[in-house]
Structures are given as structure tokens and as C-alpha cells.
């Protein structure tokens, strides 16, 4: 096997990889789209089937490849599965969400790192862009929040693609989560996401969605 060494070779290799992928697959099947989005559901009741730690690594390895601005990758995740961790997390929850979290085999805290930009030499190595962020707190927070939300969506799709079910939650106190899990760090919580294998008996009918013409416009 030969390896690309020059910048031109590296670019050519990257382009060939994409072309090769497009030769293999151009679109997902209707069933595959159903698994990750069109027929997938948010779940709030769970079986006791555990989620192996190796699957968490697989989810992350898929999620991390999703695009973020300047490849900033600000999302950080804590997987909460212990009784002690669930007890800490429960302090932040609205009453209606307590059973959803305590009944799930695992809850992911999707967070963001306000010091993400200090890692740009690793993540964006061909040009030092730290000066775009240094001393610009509002821009740092906006970038971190937006892109960690994107990464949280990639996380949910990746989990579904690997056969798990998800149930995202925003009904909690971020300040309490930050105090319990991120005190003294540059991390802030974004949202929570239960993951596991769902008990479908708790499902109700799918809620309505907008049609294209309701919310989209082609100019």
C-alpha cells in the first residue's frame, strides 16, 4: 500500500475516496431512511437490554465524521448509566422526565466545550484559525452551541443506524447539570438524550409535520 505524502497527493486521495464511495452507493433505500428518520420515533420507555460500551465507541466514530464549521467539533459527551450518575442527573429534571431518564439504560449528556478553539491546530492543521475566536466570548459560545447541536443530531442518527433507539430531552435545568457534571470546567450542557432499546408499548400516534410548501421556498 502506498500513502499520500504531498498536499497534492493528499487532496487527490481525498477526492478519489469520495468518487469511490459514490460508485458504490448513491442513495439510501426507503427502509434505511425509515430506520434513521422517516419511520423512526422518539422513545421514552425502555427495555432492560443493556447497551454495551463498545457500541458507544461505534456511535461516536460515526458521529464525529459529521461536518462542523471549521471542523471545530465542540461537542463533548458524558454517558450516564450508573445509579450515582442518574441520581445527580435527576436533580435537574422536570418531574415528567424523571421516569424517562431513570428507566433508560443510559442517558447521554450532549455538551459543548467553550475552549474548543484551542484544539484547532489539531483539527484544522493547514491554517491556524485560533485568532478568529480568541477573546470573542459571544462568537465562541454561538459557534460551540450551534455546532454541538449539529453533532447531537449526528449522534442520534448514528445510534439509530446501529439499531438503538433514542429519546432527546430538553426539559431540564442546564445550570444544575453544569454544576453536577461540569463544575470548574469549560464545558456546558446542551441537551440530554436517552439511548437504549425501546419498549414500543409506550408509543402513541406520530405527531403532524409541516408540508414542504408550508415552510419552504425556492427562490
80-101, pLDDT tens digit by residue?
999 999 999 999 999 999 999 9
Compare 5 and 186 and report the one with higher pLDDT: 186
Distance between CA atoms of residues 49 and 8, nearest Å: 49
Say how far apart CA 87 and CA 176 lie, in whole Å: 12
Q: What is the DSSP letter of 172?
A: B
* CA trace torsion 68, 72, 73, 78 (10° rounding): -140
Residue 190 near residue 141 (C-beta atoms within 8 A) = no
CB of 44 closer than 8 Å to CB of 200: no
- 77 and 109 in contact (C-beta within 8 Å)? yes
Question: How high does pLDDT run on average in the chain?
Answer: 95
Which pLDDT value is given to residue 179?
A: 98
pLDDT of residue 2: 53
Angle at Cα 137 formed by Cα 133 and Cα 89, nearest 5°? 115
Q: Using the predicted structure, report yes or no on whether residue 194 has a pLDDT greater than 90.
A: yes
SS3 34: helix
The answer, as to whether pTM is greater than 0.75, is yes
Give the tens place of pLDDT for each residue, 135-171.
999 999 999 999 999 999 999 999 999 999 999 999 9
Size of the chain, expressed as the number of residues it contains: 219
User: What are the cell numbers at 104?
Assistant: 433508560
**Does 9 have pLDDT greater than 90?**
no
Please list the residues that pair with 5 across neighbouring strands.
none
Instruction: Read off the pLDDT of each residue in 175-188 and give the average, rounded to a whole number.
Output: 98
Residue with cell 431512511: 33
Beta bridge partners of 196: 165
Q: What is the largest CA-CA distance in the chain?
A: 58
| 5 contact partners, CB below 8 Å, separation of at least 6 | none
Name the superfamily (CATH) of residues 41-200: NADH Oxidase (3.40.109.10)
- If pLDDT is split at 50, 70 and 90, which confidence band does 1 have? very low
| Sequence ranges of the chain with CATH classification 3.40.109.10 | 41-200
Q: Assess whether pLDDT exceeds 90 at residue 176.
A: yes
Amino acid at each position: 500500500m502506498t500513502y499520500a505524502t504531498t498536499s497534492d497527493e493528499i487532496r487527490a486521495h481525498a477526492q478519489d475516496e469520495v468518487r469511490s464511495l459514490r460508485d458504490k452507493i448513491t442513495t439510501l433505500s426507503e427502509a434505511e431512511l425509515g430506520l434513521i428518520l422517516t419511520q423512526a420515533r422518539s422513545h421514552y420507555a425502555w427495555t432492560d437490554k443493556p447497551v454495551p460500551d463498545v457500541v458507544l465507541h461505534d456511535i461516536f466514530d460515526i458521529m464525529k465524521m459529521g461536518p462542523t464549521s471549521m471542523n471545530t467539533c465542540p461537542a463533548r459527551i458524558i454517558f450516564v448509566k450508573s445509579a450515582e450518575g442518574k441520581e445527580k442527573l435527576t436533580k435537574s429534571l422536570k418531574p415528567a422526565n424523571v421516569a424517562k431518564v431513570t428507566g433508560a439504560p443510559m442517558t447521554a449528556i450532549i455538551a459543548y466545550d467553550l475552549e474548543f478553539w484551542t484544539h484547532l491546530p489539531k483539527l484544522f492543521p493547514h491554517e491556524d484559525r485560533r485568532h478568529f475566536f480568541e477573546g470573542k466570548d459571544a462568537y465562541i459560545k454561538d459557534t460551540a452551541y450551534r455546532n454541538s447541536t449539529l453533532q447531537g443530531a449526528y449522534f442520534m442518527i448514528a445510534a439509530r443506524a446501529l439499531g438503538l433507539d433514542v429519546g432527546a430531552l430538553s426539559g431540564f435545568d442546564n445550570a444544575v447539570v453544569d454544576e453536577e457534571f461540569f463544575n470548574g470546567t469549560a464545558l456546558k450542557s446542551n441537551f440530554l438524550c436517552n439511548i437504549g432499546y425501546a419498549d414500543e408499548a409506550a408509543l402513541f400516534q406520530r405527531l403532524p409535520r409541516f408540508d414542504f410548501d408550508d415552510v419552504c421556498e425556492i427562490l
